[in-house]
Chain A
Amino acid sequence: MKRYDLIVIGAGPAGLSAAIEAAKCGMKPVVFDENAKPGGQLFKQIHKFFGSKEHRAKIRGFKIGDDLLKEAEEYGVEVVLNATVIGLYPEKEVTVKIGDEVKHFKGDAILAATGASENMVTFKGWTKPGVIGAGAAQTMMNLHHVMPGQRVLMLGTGNVGLVVSYQLLQAGCEVAALVDAAPRVGGYGVHASKVSRCGVPFYLSHTIMEAEGDEYVTGVTIAEVDDKFQFIPGTEKHFDVDTICVAVGLSPMSQLLAQAGCKMLDTPGGYIPECDEFGQTSIDGIFAAGDVSSIEEASSAMIEGRIAGVSIAAAAGYLTEEERKEQCGALESALGSLRKGMFAPENRGKILKETEEGIEISTNLLAKGYVAEDEITRYPGFVKKAGVHPVMECTQNIPCNPCQDACPKGCITIGENITSLPVVDVEKDCIGCGMCVASCSGQAIFLIDEEYEEGYASVTMPYEFLPLPEKGDTGTALDRSGKEVCLAEVVSVKSAKAFDHTNLLTIKVPKDMADKARFFQR
């Protein structure tokens, strides 16, 4: 039987990263993936990632996927696509469907990096055509270039629900509403805000009563729920939609590990293999990394994969214990920094009242998806000064810091702690280059110039929609909630390679709208 020193199952971020690290150490790993393309979910991620440089922050997911593939090729990692692993057996044997036959391979080590699948909730009509997973929407629009629907309602305000809602808007769909049974937005506030200011209403403490339609979805009724998640009569709201997207979390796809007999743990985050610090399961030589071992962001999955790759190489004698410690140490500290902040694993389910800086958290953001005008002023990124300057509407402690490197003038500081809120130094001179605006994965930075013209201010915002407005276009400015606040004129549209498809759209609005206008609608 053909034997590899490492067989990786799944060519997503974790699997590829592990194979790359193992190959760097001299191993000859093979990666099997059932899909026609490698990269797992990375190629559906068209938003910029969070983190710092070492986590490849501000780079879009699909580009990270491209880079990972290049790196895999460079180190000679064998990636076999359309290769469905159909069984994993205790003697570290896999059976793989490749082409029209089944092949058997053994590995001295096996790494399962099989990812996650979407959770579902039931509601009346949930089986009707038109009710889809949020992942299905991403797959259709970002991989296959087909619109999942014309008018969509999103259930779930975790990061997936928020990010996919924004992507639906980018694909040209209308998003009728974002709905969540929980009383608070689950995902990053910045993700919520960028959807909210486009005019998408948030309905927290609401859920779907019924998906309507005979043959397929033609509408949906939602209603408010009480603290026991029971519908409150009289609170029903109807929307004409053709698509309902469900984004209610992910579960590890750990079936292969369970089949092999690995000791499994049933946790609130799903059915996961019991792993040691190196990602080894209860079966010697069978490892797990990425979402299959715990649901996190792709950035974490990549580091976890690298740690597993290094550990496997060490176990196989390709690295000394000292080398392993050194390499794993660096990776673990990188992983540690991603697991900090308000959304850190240990904060899951907790209701935080204030930021690490001791600033009260925006209740409006959690309840409605945007920071209220009277709340935003208390954050250190919100400053007022003469001339053009950044206004940073970043109000939660998330592990992300590209903005501080983006500013050539040093106006922005996050500091040592990657989750700290950005601080704008009003003493430093902003030149209005907009690098910070484009660098912000949360699209939370605006350039404001309250003295743009007599009686008028300019607001520069990140803009990632088509068609791109042109200088001279007139339209309406929307506030953080997506409400129309005033007329606006486009005075500048900047696109640059360095901005990576985040265009800088500058509009002119009456001076008193400088702190209100956050989006432009033609």
Chain B
Amino acid sequence: MKKAADVIIIGGGINGCAAAYYLAKRGVKDVIVLEAAKSIGHGGSSRNGGGVRQSGRDPRELPYAMYAVKHMWPTLSEELGVDVEYCQAGNLRLGKTEAHLEKLNRLAQNARNAGVDVRMIDAKEVKEINPYLSDEIIGASWCPTDGHANPMLTTLAYYKRAVELGVSFVKDAPVKAIQKVKGKARKVITADGTVFEGETMILAAGYESREIARTVGIDIPMTRYFEEALVTEMQPPMFDQMLGTADADFYGHQAKHGSFVFGSECGLEEAADMPLTDTRTSSLTMSAGCRAIMGYIPALKDAKIVRSWGGWLDMCIDEVPVISPVEEVPGLILACAFTGHGFGTAPSVGLMLSQMVVGEETVVDISALRYNRFKADR
């Protein structure tokens, strides 16, 4: 097994796999990706709603979210040789109250300021776009260039292509520590004591990144949060838009094969304290989720749920990720704390990580996501 490389990527999720792929694509093929689980993309990368959106995002994220939608997603299936089921059919963010609309309007304004086409529409127009939605919806924000894709396929497609290009992956290799050699991050030590060495390392291990970063004296202010989702049986094609709400009590879409995937919550998630490896769903969420879904799409009441799943989010204190080299630890690049919305931006994040490794300027400016932004604010 290869144990030394130019680049060590800690975390075989979508960001780690995408970074590996873009590195290999540009010729940096001496790369090792270490994945803690036996399966690639076993964390949030396989456990998310598949949204590829710009609307509703923090202004600091918009440039690279837009870059991915404009320049990367449309050709990704072709590029990776796997249909990642990208569907650019718009995002409806639904509101049922005036307060909802106010919030949506604010987010829409943010997006427009950054140049994204997001506008507020009334109930009538909502129904024209999606006739299945509830009459209780009084308005929505509408971003026609948003969409969705299949997160499991996208992650595994990046992985498959990176393998084909010569990247070395090691699964079942949970990293315990990073060690500096002569002032520079150099060694990566796994739970069983195996030492991997690299010139540069990318830490993209979700919430687990926090413990690993601490071993070189870096603390990323993030918490973890458990979220669940429901999957329905295959349904006839109904609509293509990605749906969300002002309340964030519900999001989802119909996947290409016909199943609907909906995020769902029961309201007790804040208290979830299981180990990170425990992704079992709770006894309450499925029912709560179904009620929320039917509240927005009553027509789905007879659709059957075939599966529920859960996963952990790495929630940053300021709700946007940390994507940057760390000055105090030369050789270390952080890519974590995606706060539950890292899937849609993974192509551009992966690309920019590859640029950071070779010291190239990133395609868009993401200096607002630097690690050194965290300061006492009172």
Q: Do chains A and B touch in the complex (CB under 8 A)?
A: yes
The residue of chain A having its C-beta at the shortest distance from the C-beta of B283 within the complex is: A89
- B179 surroundings in chain A (CB, below 8 A): none
Query: Could you pull out 8 A-B pairs where Cβ atoms are within 8 angstroms?
Result: A87-B286, A89-B280, A89-B282, A90-B280, A95-B283, A104-B283, A261-B278, A261-B280
Docked complex Cα distance between A89 and B287 (Å):
15
Is A102 part of the contact surface with B, judged by Cβ < 8 Å? yes
- Encode B283-297 as 1/0 by CB contact (under 8 A) with A: 100110000000000
Query: Could you tell me which residues of chain B, from 320 to 354, have a CB within 8 Å of some CB in chain A?
Result: none
Measured as residues with beta carbon below 8 angstroms from the partner, the interface class of chain B is under 10
Is A333 part of the contact surface with B, judged by Cβ < 8 Å? no
Measured as residues with beta carbon below 8 angstroms from the partner, the interface class of chain A is under 10
10 residue pairs, one from A and one from B, having the closest CB atoms: A89-B283, A93-B283, A95-B283, A102-B287, A87-B283, A104-B283, A261-B280, A259-B280, A89-B282, A90-B280
Query: Could you tell me which residues of chain B, from 132 to 150, have a CB within 8 Å of some CB in chain A?
Result: none
Docked complex Cα distance between A522 and B286 (Å):
61
Docked complex Cα distance between A261 and B278 (Å):
9
Shortest beta-carbon distance, A31 to chain B, in Å?
20
- A104 surroundings in chain B (CB, below 8 A): 283
Query: Could you tell me which residues of chain B, from 282 to 317, have a CB within 8 Å of some CB in chain A?
Result: 282-283, 286-287
Query: Could you tell me which residues of chain B, from 249 to 294, have a CB within 8 Å of some CB in chain A?
Result: 278, 280-283, 286-287
Shortest beta-carbon distance, B55 to chain A, in Å?
34
Docked complex Cα distance between A107 and B168 (Å):
49
Docked complex Cα distance between A348 and B13 (Å):
44
Contacts beyond the supplied A87-B286, A259-B280, A261-B278: 12 A-B pairs with Cβ under 8 Å: A87-B281, A87-B283, A89-B280, A89-B282, A89-B283, A90-B280, A93-B283, A95-B283, A95-B286, A102-B287, A104-B283, A261-B280
- A95 surroundings in chain B (CB, below 8 A): 283, 286
- B281 surroundings in chain A (CB, below 8 A): 87
Docked complex Cα distance between A90 and B275 (Å):
14
Docked complex Cα distance between A95 and B308 (Å):
14
Docked complex Cα distance between A326 and B283 (Å):
39
The residue of chain A having its C-beta at the shortest distance from the C-beta of B308 within the complex is: A87
- Encode A71-92 as 1/0 by CB contact (under 8 A) with B: 0000000000000000101100
The residue of chain B having its C-beta at the shortest distance from the C-beta of A106 within the complex is: B283
Of B282, B283, B286, most buried by chain A (CB within 10 Å of CB) is B283
The residue of chain A having its C-beta at the shortest distance from the C-beta of B290 within the complex is: A102
Docked complex Cα distance between A89 and B278 (Å):
12
- A87 surroundings in chain B (CB, below 8 A): 281, 283, 286
Shortest beta-carbon distance, B13 to chain A, in Å?
24
Query: Could you tell me which residues of chain A, from 85 to 119, have a CB within 8 Å of some CB in chain B?
Result: 87, 89-90, 93, 95, 102, 104
Docked complex Cα distance between A465 and B280 (Å):
52
Docked complex Cα distance between A198 and B281 (Å):
54
Docked complex Cα distance between A90 and B281 (Å):
11
Docked complex Cα distance between A230 and B282 (Å):
47
Docked complex Cα distance between A261 and B310 (Å):
14
Docked complex Cα distance between A89 and B283 (Å):
7
Query: Could you tell me which residues of chain B, from 191 to 206, have a CB within 8 Å of some CB in chain A?
Result: none
The residue of chain B having its C-beta at the shortest distance from the C-beta of A94 within the complex is: B283
Docked complex Cα distance between A114 and B352 (Å):
52
Docked complex Cα distance between A89 and B285 (Å):
12
- B282 surroundings in chain A (CB, below 8 A): 89
Docked complex Cα distance between A93 and B283 (Å):
8
- B287 surroundings in chain A (CB, below 8 A): 102
- B280 surroundings in chain A (CB, below 8 A): 89-90, 259, 261
Shortest beta-carbon distance, B278 to chain A, in Å?
8
- A90 surroundings in chain B (CB, below 8 A): 280
Shortest beta-carbon distance, A457 to chain B, in Å?
63
The residue of chain A having its C-beta at the shortest distance from the C-beta of B280 within the complex is: A261
Docked complex Cα distance between A102 and B285 (Å):
12
- B278 surroundings in chain A (CB, below 8 A): 261
The residue of chain B having its C-beta at the shortest distance from the C-beta of A260 within the complex is: B280
Shortest beta-carbon distance, B295 to chain A, in Å?
17
Shortest beta-carbon distance, A107 to chain B, in Å?
13
- A259 surroundings in chain B (CB, below 8 A): 280
The residue of chain A having its C-beta at the shortest distance from the C-beta of B282 within the complex is: A89
- B283 surroundings in chain A (CB, below 8 A): 87, 89, 93, 95, 104
- A261 surroundings in chain B (CB, below 8 A): 278, 280
Docked complex Cα distance between A208 and B286 (Å):
43
Docked complex Cα distance between A93 and B284 (Å):
11
Query: Could you tell me which residues of chain A, from 261 to 306, have a CB within 8 Å of some CB in chain B?
Result: 261
Docked complex Cα distance between A87 and B287 (Å):
12
- B286 surroundings in chain A (CB, below 8 A): 87, 95
Shortest beta-carbon distance, B214 to chain A, in Å?
29
The residue of chain A having its C-beta at the shortest distance from the C-beta of B284 within the complex is: A104
Shortest beta-carbon distance, A438 to chain B, in Å?
49
The residue of chain A having its C-beta at the shortest distance from the C-beta of B274 within the complex is: A90
Docked complex Cα distance between A458 and B362 (Å):
98
Shortest beta-carbon distance, B105 to chain A, in Å?
37
Query: Could you tell me which residues of chain A, from 342 to 388, have a CB within 8 Å of some CB in chain B?
Result: none
The residue of chain B having its C-beta at the shortest distance from the C-beta of A87 within the complex is: B283
Shortest beta-carbon distance, A207 to chain B, in Å?
32
Docked complex Cα distance between A1 and B281 (Å):
19
The residue of chain B having its C-beta at the shortest distance from the C-beta of A86 within the complex is: B286
The residue of chain B having its C-beta at the shortest distance from the C-beta of A102 within the complex is: B287
Docked complex Cα distance between A95 and B282 (Å):
10
Shortest beta-carbon distance, B305 to chain A, in Å?
9
Docked complex Cα distance between A197 and B205 (Å):
67
Query: Could you tell me which residues of chain B, from 166 to 188, have a CB within 8 Å of some CB in chain A?
Result: none
Query: Could you tell me which residues of chain B, from 57 to 80, have a CB within 8 Å of some CB in chain A?
Result: none
Shortest beta-carbon distance, A3 to chain B, in Å?
14
- A102 surroundings in chain B (CB, below 8 A): 287
Docked complex Cα distance between A90 and B279 (Å):
12
Docked complex Cα distance between A259 and B279 (Å):
10
Shortest beta-carbon distance, A2 to chain B, in Å?
14
Shortest beta-carbon distance, A254 to chain B, in Å?
15
The residue of chain B having its C-beta at the shortest distance from the C-beta of A259 within the complex is: B280
- Encode A227-268 as 1/0 by CB contact (under 8 A) with B: 000000000000000000000000000000001010000000
Shortest beta-carbon distance, A264 to chain B, in Å?
14
The residue of chain A having its C-beta at the shortest distance from the C-beta of B281 within the complex is: A87
Docked complex Cα distance between A171 and B281 (Å):
46
Docked complex Cα distance between A261 and B286 (Å):
18
The residue of chain A having its C-beta at the shortest distance from the C-beta of B305 within the complex is: A86
- A93 surroundings in chain B (CB, below 8 A): 283
Shortest beta-carbon distance, A340 to chain B, in Å?
40
Docked complex Cα distance between A90 and B273 (Å):
14
Shortest beta-carbon distance, B269 to chain A, in Å?
15
Shortest beta-carbon distance, B213 to chain A, in Å?
30
Query: Could you tell me which residues of chain A, from 377 to 413, have a CB within 8 Å of some CB in chain B?
Result: none
Shortest beta-carbon distance, B306 to chain A, in Å?
11
Docked complex Cα distance between A84 and B283 (Å):
15
- Encode B89-109 as 1/0 by CB contact (under 8 A) with A: 000000000000000000000
Query: Could you tell me which residues of chain A, from 301 to 341, have a CB within 8 Å of some CB in chain B?
Result: none
Shortest beta-carbon distance, A488 to chain B, in Å?
57
Docked complex Cα distance between A95 and B280 (Å):
14
Of B280, B281, B282, most buried by chain A (CB within 10 Å of CB) is B280
Shortest beta-carbon distance, B312 to chain A, in Å?
16
Docked complex Cα distance between A81 and B280 (Å):
27
Docked complex Cα distance between A102 and B282 (Å):
14
The residue of chain A having its C-beta at the shortest distance from the C-beta of B287 within the complex is: A102
- A89 surroundings in chain B (CB, below 8 A): 280, 282-283
Docked complex Cα distance between A104 and B278 (Å):
22
